Amino acid sequence: MELHFFKYQGTGNDFVIIDNRQHIFPKNDTKLISKLCDRRFGIGGDGLMLLENDNMSDFKMVYFNADGKEGSMCGNGGRCLVAFAHYLGIFKEETTFNAVDGLHFATISGKQVKLKMIDVDKIHQKPNHSFLDTGSPHHVQLVDELEKFDVPKEGKKLRYGIYGESGSNINFVEQKAEDAFRVRTYERGVEDETYSCGTGVTAAALTMFELGKTAAKQIHIETIGGDLIIYFEKHNGKYTNIFLEGPAEQVFKGTITCSI
């Protein structure tokens, strides 16, 4: 079959996106999804997303990791899908869509997409790292000289060594200023370092506030692929009104022949 696709990226986190409102895509074909995400034998991407109709909101987000398995929430993916829905004319300036972790509100202005994330009730503190769920599970750990740090090696070690087969995303953080941090992430499902991770930088920002490393509630995060901003409030120990903001843009579109 010939499949029409779009390629989007948000701070270097890149995705294959398909308009599946007519239910044309074989969602159970993990081998096909993995091949489409392959950078040598397919289109290439950190994940694949389907935009579908939803009776509760403007559209539904269905996200698959690069290994072909359906994944948990992806923040940069959500921002890219919002940009795609805007391109399709589904909404003008603001939207609500359904994802695996529930409903998300978002706005768009030019290439900037601001996405509301789920509330966070608990950040688990360990001796030298923290763990929390921002729609996906995240390990957050402060390190020195992040630029020289071997993220793929150390991330893989922690991803399997602590969290087993189900795994967690692993984030390494370095403070740059009172309200600014640099983050590098090893993502499960991709099983490598990615240029950026939306739920990961959100987890890092909340953790740095929780640890007292910053008093700011608007935190700037530098990733390999670009800059993101996280906004939040904290009331009675709970993080609410969490927003992830950054650029999302269409890179190219085309057709690919698939064997099914």
- Per-residue model confidence (pLDDT) at position 12: 98
| CB proximity list for 135: less than 8 A, separation 6 or greater | 72, 73, 74, 75, 99, 100, 101, 117, 118, 199
* DSSP 8-state code for residue 80: H
Looking at the structure, give the CATH architecture of the domain made up of residues 2-117+248-257.
Roll (3.10)
E strand or H helix that includes residue 234: strand 226-235
CA 157, CA 178: separation in Å to the nearest integer? 30
Query: Among residues 137, 174, 136, 168, which one has the least CA distance to residue 155?
Result: 168
Residue 137 has φ and ψ, to the nearest 5°, of: -75, 140
- Per-residue model confidence (pLDDT) at position 260: 58
Q: Which fold has domain 124-244?
A: Diaminopimelate Epimerase; Chain A, domain 1 (3.10.310)
- Per-residue model confidence (pLDDT) at position 250: 98
Is 65 known as a binding-site position? yes
- Per-residue model confidence (pLDDT) at position 89: 98
Query: Among residues 89, 55, 90, 66, which one has the least CA distance to residue 15?
Result: 66
Is 55 known as a binding-site position? no
* Helices 198-210 and 75-87, packing angle to 10 deg: 130
CA 175, CA 74: separation in Å to the nearest integer? 24
Count of other CB atoms within 10 angstroms of residue 89: 7
Q: Would 2-117+248-257 and 124-244 be classified into the same CATH topology?
A: yes
Q: Please list, residue by residue across 48-58, b when 16 or more beta carbons sit within 10 angstroms of its beta carbon and e when fewer do.
A: bbbbbebeebb
Is 76 known as a binding-site position? yes
Q: CA-CA distances (angstroms) from residue 2 to 25, 84, 135, 170, 248? A: 11, 20, 33, 37, 26
| Cβ 246 vs Cβ 195: under 8 Å | no
CA 132, CA 37: separation in Å to the nearest integer? 28
Q: Is 80 a catalytic residue?
A: no
CA 215, CA 209: separation in Å to the nearest integer? 6
Is 187 known as a binding-site position? yes
* DSSP 8-state code for residue 58: S
Domain residue extents for the chain: 2-117+248-257, 124-244
Is 13 known as a binding-site position? yes
183 residue type, one letter: V
- Per-residue model confidence (pLDDT) at position 135: 96
Instruction: Label residue 163 exposed, middle or buried (CB < 10 Å: 0-12, 13-18, 19+).
Output: middle
Q: Which of 37, 74, 80, 258 is catalytic?
A: 74
- Please tell me the total number of residues recorded for the chain in this structure: 260
Is 199 known as a binding-site position? yes
Is 75 known as a binding-site position? yes
Is 200 known as a binding-site position? no
- Per-residue model confidence (pLDDT) at position 245: 98
- Per-residue model confidence (pLDDT) at position 165: 84
pLDDT in 10s for each residue of the chain, 260 residues: 899 999 999 999 999 999 999 999 999 999 999 999 999 999 999 999 999 999 999 999 999 999 999 999 999 999 999 999 999 999 999 999 999 999 999 999 999 999 999 999 999 999 999 999 999 999 999 999 999 999 999 999 999 999 988 889 999 999 999 999 999 999 999 999 999 999 999 999 999 999 999 999 999 999 999 999 999 999 999 999 999 999 999 999 999 998 75
